[in-house]
Amino acid sequence: MKLSAFSVVDAYPPGPPREEERLREVVQLAESAEAGGLSALWVAEHHFHAGGICPSPPVLLAACGARTRRLRLGSMVSVLPFHRPIDVAEEYAMVDQLLGGRLNLGVGSGYIPMEFEGFGVDPATKRDRFEASLDSILTAFRGESVHAHEGALPVRLNVLPVQRPHPPVWIAVQRREAVPFVARRGVSIALIPYATLGGLDELKGVVREFRESAPPGLRSEVAVAIHLYAGARPDRARTAFRRYLESRLQTQSTFYREKAKRDPHHATPEAIEAGGFAMFGAPDSVADGLRGYSELGVDEVLGIFDFGGLDAAEVGRSVTALGPAWAARSS
């Protein structure tokens, strides 16, 4: 099982000059992830609120790529209903070229109401928009003709990705009913269980359903995002985690907000940690806890190390301590 880092790029406290500092911290996180032997760094796309201040993952990934050599770099996710497919295809193809073929492409349909309102996109149309967009993007990546907009002449990308026929693709899912659809598409899946699930037993069922729904002979990957801290001050991480969850409610994070209303007990920071979807402690202890995900058949843990204003230097130490501790157990 691979261990990677995943940054939502939340800003705490919000407001200038925090934005510039926070974006530079993500580049530093990429350097720490490479130094710690992690597999990849992923960043989220968000708009119009401090719960995520990376509106353009390709720009941030290119900056991270300039400071790393081995680390894979990915979006988690590119929100397809907000963009023209041809723009997404061009930008990520160019990033894959700049990275020398190190791009991971995570895509999704979006879930925060204010973002849909800001772009003037009807959430009821997001599934159809997503499906059509992804098909067009993958077609463009293969060097085939696509239509940039309705009624336009067909065009081809003038910069193709290094990875052929296209970079590996993950679809992020928060509603369980979407799991078999992703599996049948033959792509990998990314899960954010703290926002929707009650514990590891429920996650085990989701992973099993994904495997059973996949085409015969094809083994796509399962990635799972959880909050991690490996160090001597887990109390600081728990305080930051509480701030992070509070910010999710303030930004109307749909699925976590629904969970908090439906079952408040299981949505508390303490319950999420007890359920295994957040791990804070000494590096060896956290590494031992990660074994449970490997036993569930998870292919990659996306460790959310930087959250809720946790000090960047402490985040870096956490990453570089946990990477070797996990490698020692998984070798």
d(C-alpha 76, C-alpha 301), whole Å: 13
265 pLDDT band, cuts 50/70/90, is: confident
- Asked whether the CA dihedral 44, 45, 50, 51 is positive or negative, the reply is negative
Tell me the domain boundaries of the chain. Answer: 2-330
d(C-alpha 240, C-alpha 227), whole Å: 11
- Is the pLDDT at 98 greater than 70? The verdict is yes
- Is the pLDDT at 69 greater than 80? The verdict is yes
The torsion of the CA quartet 111, 114, 115, 118, rounded to 10 degrees, works out to: 150
d(C-alpha 279, C-alpha 277), whole Å: 7
Average pLDDT, the chain: 95
Q: Could you tell me which residue, 255 or 194, shows the higher pLDDT?
A: 194
328 pLDDT band, cuts 50/70/90, is: very high
d(C-alpha 26, C-alpha 9), whole Å: 7
Q: What superfamily in CATH does domain 2-330 come from?
A: Luciferase-like domain (3.20.20.30)
DSSP secondary structure code for residue 265 in this structure = G
Phi, psi of 261 (to 5 degrees): -75, -40
Give the chain's end-to-end CA distance (angstroms, integer).
10
One-letter identity of residue 48: F
d(C-alpha 301, C-alpha 322), whole Å: 12
For the segment 267-323, what is each residue's pLDDT rounded down to a tens digit?
899 999 999 999 999 999 999 999 999 999 999 999 999 999 999 999 999 999 999
- Is the pLDDT at 331 greater than 90? The verdict is no
Q: Where are the alpha helices (H) located in the chain, listed in sequence order?
A: 18-35, 57-66, 85-98, 113-119, 126-141, 179-185, 200-213, 234-250, 254-262, 269-274, 283-295, 312-330
- Percentage of the chain exceeding pLDDT 90: 86
Joined together, the tokens standing for residue 36 give 């710690």
- Asked whether the CA dihedral 263, 268, 274, 277 is positive or negative, the reply is positive
**pLDDT reported for residue 15:** 67
Taking the model in full, what pTM does it have? 0.96
- 30 and 71 Cβ atoms separated by less than 8 Å: yes
- Asked whether the CA dihedral 248, 249, 255, 260 is positive or negative, the reply is positive
Q: How many Cβ atoms from other residues are within 10 Å of residue 121's Cβ?
A: 16
For the segment 151-160, what is each residue's pLDDT rounded down to a tens digit?
889 999 999 9
For the segment 163-196, what is each residue's pLDDT rounded down to a tens digit?
999 999 999 999 999 999 999 999 999 999 999 9
